[in-house]
Amino acid sequence: MKNLLYQTNDIIRDRYRIVSPIGEGSMGTTYEAEDLTNYQRVAIKVVSLRQTQDWKIIELFDREARVLANLQHPGIPKYLDRFDEDTSTDRRFYLVQELAVGESLAALVEKGWQPDERRVRKMALQLLDILNYLHQLTPPVIHRDIKPQNIIRHTNDKLYLVDFGAVQDVYRNTLTRGGTFVGTLGYMPHEQFRGQVGAASDLYALGATLLFLLSGKSPAELPQTRMKIDFHRHVNISPALSQWLEKMLAPAVEDRFASAREAISALSLPLKPSVREVTSHNGPRGSRISLMTTENSLVCLIPLHWNLILSLTTITIVLSFFAWPIFILLAIPFISLLGSQSLFIDRQKFILKKRWFGICFQEIKGQTADIKLVDVEVTRGSKGKTLFNLVIWEGVRKYNFGGFISQYEKKWLEIRLSEFLNLRRLQPLDIERSDNCSKLSSRAIASFKPRKN
């Protein structure tokens, strides 16, 4: 940390001994200290007038102290003291609070911690209880900067909401810090950019924080569709929690929960065991493709076509009259066709398998978030025939799927897979028109003659 005003063992006001710095932000530095009158550990936030470039920081600091002095909730560190001190070159402002023992959610995730859905639900209920308390005060208190860095988790799973430096009651206008709106990108709702905040703004920020815990990524890193965070491919959660998060993160204020109490009621419904609604999708007429989806998973099975099996059986009978070595050599190309392809996708991973006689001879695994495109590619065979290949792009790697199904089945699968993965599709492909265009292009190339100089 830069520009620290105090070092370990420095004494403030003949009472507080500095132990170590805890954090530093635009509104000063917070230290862990020891109260020498009772030897209790406390947190002291210090703002230096000399280092402050905006008087609004002092106003926000004073507001934080006034608000905290009137708050009484087990999830909010208690206000203990507020004082100023002058030095020969500076005036310093101090806010003393009960020390929230633990680590921030941001620090925990950075170390690899990722809670499961049940734990996230419990954490959400704790934080919603704090927000319900704040929002029911008169006037309501809006935190305005809920994020993983401002939530401390004790080892017993107790949570504390800290840093009320951006706090605002709803009867005041939004202030800015140096021309920048109070809040943190990725966790701020859209209305906060316009300087309009309310209880629903804190709910949005809490939803974004929970999404960070579930995905391990900042909401700012996730894709958006029509100003709405598209998080489904990056988390593996129940449909119920997914719908609840969607409402918390709705871009429009009126589409979110009306209050923290309402959000608590919706989230408190018992988590049902994993009874998932399975949807079976019918392919093109005559297709033997099996495609089933739930909200969070997809399974596709493409068996070998029956006509191919029948042909192989006939050839096997005929070849049985010949010598075995010849039979084996001639049968290899057909044996390679006797099998199936399968594709499994959930919100975290995908698995592509190819089988012969029920034995898996190829398995490809990857992260679902890395799938960028599903497309039907049009290529030319060695004899000039137009070929249609269903391709799954994982970054710069591509995998062919469904090599022995028709071009119409491939197009149908492309649409279904893209819809499930919520991928942007390329311009719709008119197969017949594309084939005709390819023929015209081939003729044009064949008839082209370079101009002689």
Residues making up the binding site: 45
Answer yes or no: are the C-beta atoms of 351 and 299 closer than 8 Å.
no
Query: Token pair of 382, please?
Result: 């060695």
Distance CA 94, CA 203 (A): 30
| String of DSSP letters for 175-236 | PEETTEESS-TTTS-HHHHTT---HHHHHHHHHHHHHHHHHSS-GGGS-EETTEE--GGG--
Q: Taking CA 104 as the corner, what is the angle to CA 100 and CA 106, rounded to the nearest 5 degrees?
A: 170
Distance CA 149, CA 134 (A): 19
Residues making up the binding site for ATP: 45
Tokens 């639900």 belong to: 121
Q: Annotate 251-266 with b (16+ C-beta within 10 A) or e (fewer).
A: eebeebbebbbebbee
Distance CA 172, CA 174 (A): 7
Q: Annotate 176-194 with b (16+ C-beta within 10 A) or e (fewer).
A: ebeeebbbbebbbbebbee
- Candidate list 81, 129, 145, 346, residue with the active-site label: 145
Beta bridge partners of 339: 356
Size (the chain), residues? 453
Tokens 């589409």 belong to: 255
Annotated catalytic, 145?
A: yes
Distance CA 43, CA 20 (A): 10
Nearest CA to 69 out of 58, 60, 57, 78 is that of 78
Answer yes or no: are the C-beta atoms of 6 and 46 closer than 8 Å.
yes
**Three state DSSP letters for 83-148:** EEEECCCCEEEEEEEECCCCEEHHHHHHCCCCCCHHHHHHHHHHHHHHHHHHHCCCCCEECCCCCH
Classified as helix, coil or strand, 452 is coil
Strands (DSSP E) contained in 325-406 are: 339-346, 349-356, 359-367, 371-380, 386-394, 397-400
Answer yes or no: are the C-beta atoms of 421 and 372 closer than 8 Å.
no
φ and ψ of 70, to 5 deg: -110, 5
Nearest CA to 258 out of 151, 120, 140 is that of 140
Enzyme catalytic residues: 145
